[in-house]
Amino acid sequence: MTERRLDEEERRAVEALGRGRDGRSTDIASGGGAPAWLSRSLAYCTRCGAELAPATLPEENRERLACAACGHIAYINPRLVVTTLPVTDAGEVVLLRRGIEPGYGAWAQPGGFLEVDETVAEGAARETLEETGLVVKPGELVGIYSRLEAAVVVLVFGADELPWDGIGFKTSWWAIHDWVRLRHPEVPLPERFRGHEAF
């Protein structure tokens, strides 16, 4: 089965649905293709080694990187990040300070990239253990957050003093915001992200 081009009415119907709650954590407009930094890393065909070039193909509904030599299409998909918001017996959420870029020194929840051979719950537990030494069982899904700038989709599994202005990533900020809303609706929340805007 191949994709088909959407007509103008169909395109407007999809756009009218809006970006969804996961779009709160990105400032980039949808539909702009892969970030330039990611496209630059995909220069050669994985099948035959020839150069890839942007092309509008009849069977696709958007521009793709394609190989003129063998016809292979290089689909660029986001990476999946899995995280948790560990909570202590005292009811406090565990955050960590980033020790690497991006966001060096900023606050974030523990997490990282999902490996191809694990479930999202396994990946979230592994990443939390690697980064904090805590063994956690991921529970309720707090939210899903898209970061078009970083080409990632962040899944966050389930505070009272939180360093709102020092949180390093919009996905972390929104996940913590949503967790507090779910678990502690009485806690006042800031209205907008004022952390490190570039992350």
Each residue's pLDDT tens digit, 149-158: 999 999 999 8
130 and 154 in a single domain? The answer is: yes
Write out the residue range of the structural domain in which residue 108 sits. Answer: 79-183
Residue 188 lies in a domain: no
Q: Is residue 146 part of a domain?
A: yes
Tell whether 165 and 105 lie within a shared domain.
yes
The verdict on 115 and 173 lying in the same domain is yes
- Residue 9: helix, strand or coil by DSSP? helix
Domain count, the chain: 2
pLDDT digits (tens, 9 = 90+) for 62-92: 889 999 999 999 999 999 999 999 987 777 8
My answer on whether 103 and 67 are in the same domain is no
- Of the candidates 74, 108, 129, which is a domain's last residue? 74
3-state DSSP assignment of residue 5: coil
Q: How confident is the model at residue 159, as a pLDDT?
A: 47
Conformation bin of residue 151: beta by default, left when phi > 0, alpha when psi is -120 to 50: left
Higher pLDDT pick, 22 / 166: 22
pLDDT in tens, 20-48: 999 999 988 988 888 888 988 999 999 99
Q: How many CB atoms lie within 10 A of CB 22?
A: 17
